[in-house]
Structure 1
Amino acid sequence: MEDEAMARASHALTDGERVWLVDPVDDEAAIERALSLGKPEVVFQLLDRHKRDCQQVADRLGVKLVVLPLELRGTPFEAIEVVENPIWKERALWWKKTKTLVVAEAVGASKMFRPTEAGAGVHIGLRVTPPRKQLGTYNPRHLLMGHGDPINGDQATVALQDALDKSRKDLPSALFLMPRAFR
């Protein structure tokens, strides 16, 4: 949703026949585009506290809602436990065949995340302890985030690594500039 400060993004992943929806916002045009890609299989909710419209979309499409997946049998994805604590639970998806990494909240590209020049930034709540161990070993060709535009090609890995590497260093400026992100 480009007109929002957080620039929420939803994703539809397809293998040419099946479609998996990730953290969808119930936007009729976006859902129709997703359905044009193939048969919907499941809706994934990758973050515990921001449910978006996952349940409504799953109900409307008549598919299962999978919240915070750990095992993904029957799919081409690997689940990554990004954050697991009492106030924040988040998973990411890795699709090895296409080198696609889907991150709900830990990394984003909207102005709220104060992205580096490479295009992505770590969530302000994780800047002191970025998910380097959880995400830093992946070299995506496609970086799909819950906030902001996707980053594709060689730039995807550069953006992810840059965000993780600079999260602490850029924390003071991110805090200082945070109020401007809401304008």
Structure 2
Amino acid sequence: MPMKSSGAGSLNEVNRWDGGASWIAYPEEEMQRASHAVATEAGLVVVDPVDVPDLDEWLADLAADTGADGVAGVAVLLDRHKRDSAAIAKRHGVPVGVPSWMSGVAGDLDARTTDLADLLADTSYEVRRVIDNPFWQEAGMYDPDAEVLVLPEVFGTVDYYCAPSEQLGVHPMLRLTPPKKLKRLDVERLLVGHGEGVAEDADDLIRTALRKATTNAPGLYISTVKNALF
């Protein structure tokens, strides 16, 4: 199983609910990169997308199903998740929303950009600054009314994120210093950047993952080494 696949990919839908849906372009890859489209009062916001054939038709169908007025914009929530955001935004004639404090992203995109906070200004989603340091800049999109959190990298459901017995894991590089402020959020639905999301009672899994991040770290690292060797 490759860590990261390339090529055309395909539209493998996951996480559909009345407020949006996600897709995984390469379900065979170990990273299982997930992309999302969430319905807002302004229209669909496409998050950290990996482009696939027939995506535009799928987005049109999703907009109709959720009552969204087409695609309002594309969001980049992680400094290294530019992915195909520029190409998709240009096709739909919309901007790419990048947090104003996220450096080295907007200038590298071959598309019109805007502050993500402005893109979401008239919606129920808020921009949350989750990690901001020279090595890692990550934002979340949070709807406190619907209790939906879109978070690209801190949490994942794929094998290399999860220690034995974990359903949701903290990124291996954050195990010793997890962002514990996330445990204060009420979250029913969590959309992650790697793997399928959590459809209900996500806040319980988030709090458990944060509480056990450090103690479960050795088990995760051991299982990662075993998988690499065998």
Matched, 1:176 2:222: yes
Gapped runs of 5+ residues in structure 1?
none
Q: How many residue pairs align between the two structures?
A: 181
Identical counterparts, % of pairs:
35
Partner in structure 1 of residue 124 of structure 2: 76
Q: Distance in 2 between matches of 1:11 and 1:182?
A: 33
TM-score by length of 1: 0.90
Larger radius of gyration: 2
Give the drift of 1:40: 0.2
Q: Distance in 2 between matches of 1:182 and 1:120?
A: 24
| Residue of 7, 21, 28 corresponding to 2:53 | 28
Q: Secondary structure at the match of 1:58?
A: helix
Amino acid aligned to 2:216: D
Matched, 1:10 2:35: yes
- Tell me the alpha carbon deviations over residues 78-100 of structure 1, each in whole angstroms, 9 at most, x when there is no partner: 11111100010000110122110
Counting only pairs closer than 5 Å after superposition, residues 82-121 of structure 1 correspond to structure 2 as 82-114=130-162, 117=165, 119-121=167-169
Give the drift of 1:112: 1.6
- Tell me the alpha carbon deviations over residues 92-146 of structure 1, each in whole angstroms, 9 at most, x when there is no partner: 110122110011001111112115645211001111110111x111121111000
Q: Distance in 1 between matches of 2:164 and 2:125?
A: 28
Q: Which has the higher contact order (CA 8 A, sep 6+)?
A: 1
TM-score by length of 2: 0.72
Matched, 1:148 2:195: yes
Closer, same or farther: CA 167–26 of 1 in aligned 2, 3 Å: same
Partner in structure 2 of residue 19 of structure 1: 44
Closer, same or farther: CA 124–35 of 1 in aligned 2, 3 Å: same
Give the drift of 1:34: 2.3
Partner in structure 2 of residue 53 of structure 1: 84
Closer, same or farther: CA 16–10 of 1 in aligned 2, 3 Å: same
Give the drift of 1:182: 9.7
Alignment RMSD? 2.1
Q: Secondary structure at the match of 1:94?
A: strand
Partner in structure 2 of residue 43 of structure 1: 74
CA contact (8 A) 2:163 2:220 kept: no
Closer, same or farther: CA 65–15 of 1 in aligned 2, 3 Å: closer
Please list every run of at least 4 consecutive aligned residues from structure 1 whose deviation after the TM superposition is greater than 4 angstroms: none
Amino acid aligned to 1:146: G
Q: Distance in 2 between matches of 1:51 and 1:182?
A: 31
CA contact (8 A) 2:168 2:206 kept: yes
Gapped runs of 5+ residues in structure 2?
1-25, 64-69, 100-114
Q: Distance in 2 between matches of 1:151 and 1:89?
A: 23
Closer, same or farther: CA 34–159 of 1 in aligned 2, 3 Å: farther
Q: Distance in 2 between matches of 1:111 and 1:161?
A: 19
Amino acid aligned to 1:82: V
Q: Distance in 2 between matches of 1:127 and 1:73?
A: 33
